[in-house]
Amino acid sequence: MDRIETPPDVVIRRLPLYARSLRYLLQEDVRSVSSQELGERINVTAAQIRKDLSYFGEFGKQGIGYDVEKLLNQIERILGLNQEWPVGLIGIGHLGEAIARYEGFRRQGIRIAALFDSDPNKIGTDINGLTIQDDTHIERAMREQGVKLAIIAVPATRAQEVADMLVSAGVRAILNYAPMVIQVPENVWVRHIDPVAVLHSMTYYLAREEDKES
Amino acid sequence: MDRIETPPDVVIRRLPLYARSLRYLLQEDVRSVSSQELGERINVTAAQIRKDLSYFGEFGKQGIGYDVEKLLNQIERILGLNQEWPVGLIGIGHLGEAIARYEGFRRQGIRIAALFDSDPNKIGTDINGLTIQDDTHIERAMREQGVKLAIIAVPATRAQEVADMLVSAGVRAILNYAPMVIQVPENVWVRHIDPVAVLHSMTYYLAREEDKES
DNA sequence: ATTTGTGAATGGATTCACAGCG
DNA sequence: CGCTGTGAATCCATTCACAAAT
């Protein structure tokens, strides 16, 4: 009823999955959903979904479930997706270019707003209507546009340096694709996307299966 | 001393980070490292590292720390990285192409071994010496090469269908880049890489900061 | 009859703290 | 003296189970 507790970060990380699933349901013209049904779609228990949502209020109706559109709107508001977030992208290699061209961001509250690289051959060229800028201009450009979010897609060796520039540019949240843990002040959020590490954690299980077979 | 407990998955997911950090240390010619020093590099507590490693054996020396090269070898062996893992990649859009061209895999036990797409304009073209195949050939091609690991980089609408094909091809672990939770039998491992969800979990905190400022 | 919201109970993961070894 | 390895203690997350609502 009265919510004093601040929601733990695990809960915050699940909310976007709930939101996405609700968007798909909406596309399928499903109007109402129970925690049970929602959970089956995303492999989360019904109790978990209900408990997670309870950190933010009461959104369901007993005996009925949740109104898909209403719940989606609530979760999007909670996540701050009722506004558009400009994002700076640093490092326009193969990966950076794929990120810059990805349509899935724009549709979901994320707008790639500035591109940076250090390669003189890339600086000045355009991708999707945005000009790649010299990454020494990060601070000025990001401040001008009030960008608080950035994506790092540079090689590991340059990641910390770029992170430092972002922090002095006033960036408060970083999505790091570089295979390197970066150090930032405690008021800056960092999340790491690390496909190699993820694959390596799965080879562990594959290797053990091979052992079992002998 | 005697290890009966099977290591929890959280521990397995951290091992690749330890391995990577040790590789960097080795490159810097650091021979020996304490759990404290290692932890500072990757923002993990010293106790956590020691406890994690204790699931697999005793690798350190009291008063000294760990021999970097030895510990790295041990962890790589645990993760099954003493062998090379062929991987099938399905979906050669911007992202799939970036993955196919990424050098960071090959160097770390992962070899992209087959590319698939459904677009006739792409099928037959080459990337990095590999020919893109029709994705209806997944089962035959993957079985022939004994591929147990796959990466899905297709749009959300096709992800489940592709996952089903991979499962019948005998694939046992899937890295899913599609913004969609896929359903697989319980003997198949799935990990999801979801940059949009990650960004959305950070906009939550950014939005709250904005509120605080008013 | 069905499903929510939530305290209580359980189950896990992390941290503590220290004996024991080099 | 420094640092590991590890039981015990703590902290946190998930699940249970049921009263309340419709």
* A77-129 pLDDT per residue, tens: 999 999 999 999 999 999 999 999 999 998 899 999 999 999 999 999 999 99
Residues 6 or more apart in contact with residue A96 via CB below 8 angstroms: A89, A90, A115, A117, A153, A154
SS3 B155: coil
Strands B173-176 vs B149-152: parallel, antiparallel or unpaired:
parallel
- Name the minimum distance, in Å, from the CA of A131 to any CA of chain B: 19
Residue of A17, A101, A204 with shortest CB distance to B197: A17
Task: Give the integer Cα–Cα distance in Å for A161 and B9.
Answer: 32
pLDDT greater than 60 at residue A207: yes
Residue B75: C-alpha distances to residues B20, B41, B202 (Å): 10, 17, 32
Task: Give the integer Cα–Cα distance in Å for A32 and A51.
Answer: 19
Element (H, E) at A9: helix A9-27
**What does the pLDDT average to over A45-49?**
98
- Which chain A residues in 7-26 sit with Cβ < 7 A of strand D? 8-11
* A9-36 pLDDT per residue, tens: 999 999 999 999 999 999 999 999 999 9
B99 touches chain A (CB under 8 A): yes
Per-chain mean pLDDT for chain A: 96
- Amino acid present at B173: A
Residues of B whose CB is below 8 A from A98: 93-95, 97-98
Residue B55: burial class (beta carbons within 10 Å; 0-12, 13-18, 19+)? middle
Q: Cβ separation of A197 and B17 shorter than 8 Å?
A: yes
SS3 A182: coil
Residues of B whose CB is below 8 A from A149: 199, 202-203, 206
> Which fold is adopted by the domain A85-197?
Rossmann fold (3.40.50)
Nucleotide showing the shortest C1' distance to residue A46 CA: D15
b/e code A131-159 from CB counts within 10 Å (16+ = b): ebbebeebbebbeeeebbbbbbbbeeebb
Alpha helices in A28-147 (DSSP H): 35-42, 46-54, 68-78, 94-101, 103-106, 138-145
Output the known binding site of B: 91-96
The model's confidence at residue A1, banded by pLDDT at 50, 70 and 90, is: very low
The model's confidence at residue A209, banded by pLDDT at 50, 70 and 90, is: confident
SS3 B127: strand
Residues 6 or more apart in contact with residue A177 via CB below 8 angstroms: A91, A95, A99, A151, A152, A153, A193
Ranges under pLDDT 50 in chain B: 1-2
* B75-100 pLDDT per residue, tens: 999 999 999 999 999 999 999 999 99
A181 touches chain B (CB under 8 A): yes
Residue A170: C-alpha distances to residues A113, A187, B2 (Å): 15, 11, 50
> Which fold is adopted by the domain B9-78?
Arc Repressor Mutant, subunit A (1.10.10)
Q: How do the domains of chain A map onto residue ranges?
A: 9-78, 85-197
B94 touches chain A (CB under 8 A): yes
Q: Which residue is nearest to nucleotide D17 (CA to C1')?
A: A47
SS3 B94: helix
Query: Token match 């999801």: residue?
Result: B192
pLDDT greater than 50 at residue A175: yes
b/e code A5-36 from CB counts within 10 Å (16+ = b): eebeeebbbbbbbbbbbbbbbeeeeeebbbbe
Task: Give the integer Cα–Cα distance in Å for A151 and A75.
Answer: 23
Upper half-sphere CA count for residue A29 (Cβ side, 13 Å) = 0
Checking phi first, is residue A29 left (phi over 0); if not, alpha (psi -120 to 50) or beta?
Answer: left
Task: Give the integer Cα–Cα distance in Å for A28 and A20.
Answer: 13
How many of the other CB atoms lie within 10 Å of CB of B211? 9
Strand partners, B19: none
Residues 6 or more apart in contact with residue A136 via CB below 8 angstroms: A118
